[in-house]
Amino acid sequence: MSAPKRLGVIGARGYAGGELLRLVAGHGGFKVVHLASRALAGQPFSALAPELGASGEIVAPDPEAAAQAGLDACVLAMPNGQAAAYAEAFDRAAPDAVIVDFSADFRGVDGWAYGLPEIAREPLNGARRIANPGCYASAVVLALAPLVPLLAGAASAFGVSGWSGAGTTPSPRNDEARLKDNVMPYAIAGHGHEKEARQALGVSVNFTPHVAGFFRGLVATVHAPLTEELSGEALAARFEAAYGSEPLIRLQSEPPEAKDAVNTPLAILGGFAAAPSERRAVVCCALDNLLKGAASQALQNLNLALGFVETRGLAAA
């Protein structure tokens, strides 16, 4: 048996970082040797992730220290705008280490593979720099990709997510009292995941996000104008041809609900409604924003980059 891969997680206290550590604990192919959290620096690993069974002391985030920790892989589970210093430090000190970045900082950047295997798997095999997709973008891209050759114009997407997607820093979007019995639209034009979906697909996509008073999970509904009439059966057949063999995608006739995907590593696609006379298709996608939208997606990408079976550690997610 080969030695476990030495893993570091920066921003391990956040929701997505915590989910990743839980998954890694059941993977069996990693040894967590570097955990960084500004709030928990100085405390033992067990204060953050007792399930790891690993000893060590949580440190404050420091790009140079992480790059010199002898890591095989490092996951950056930090907000946007903080990844560049780590990328530069690893490029200098540990260029062969795998970096998976949760933020938007390197999505669409040359030299960084876009980490959605169901759309482009080959660039992820053995990759060393991976930009983990955004949660909403993952749902929108998966719902639209099989229809790209038939698009007659801009697609439109409506998404609603649980408030964990807003992270742990207090804001109106994770204020449970404000969100109780409420749905809040935000960034109604120009959301970052709108740009990301456009880059990933090479087509025009308009997207409006919302947050509601549940903790995790999301659902996106996509409307696609088509160049030809398409029946509901033909629409579903296109998705079966694209994703029927994908282990982490589930196809169903009914529109998925947000709760259907919670605590699973799956993206669930369904609905497959067609309006042939209008040349329009509607598809829904549900996923867990902390798993397929972040942590389980990162582990899927690490598996591909490091030569593990792609779904290792994900069956019980």
Q: Which two tokens stand for residue 257?
A: 């609900």
Nearest to 24 by CA among 55, 59, 45, 51: 51
Sheet containing 30-36: which strands, arranged edge to edge?
A: 30-36, 5-10, 73-76, 98-101, 129-131, 113-114
Identified catalytic residue from 74, 135, 284, 285:
135
Place of tokens 């964990």: 164
Is 135 known to be catalytic?
Answer: yes
Inter-axis angle of helices 295-306 and 15-25, to 10 degrees? Answer: 50
Cα 138 to Cα 287: distance, rounded to the nearest angstrom = 9
- Tell me the DSSP string of 28-68: SSEEEEEEE-TTTTTSBGGGT-GGG----B-B---HHHHHT
> Helices in the chain by DSSP H: which ranges?
15-25, 63-67, 84-93, 135-144, 176-179, 192-201, 232-243, 258-261, 295-306
The number of C-alpha atoms within 13 Å of 105 and in the hemisphere containing its C-beta is 20
For residue 2, count CB atoms less than 10 angstroms from its CB and return exposed for 0-12, middle for 13-18, buried for 19 or more. Answer: exposed
Backbone angles phi, psi at 217, to 5 degrees: 100, 155
- Which residues are catalytically annotated? 135
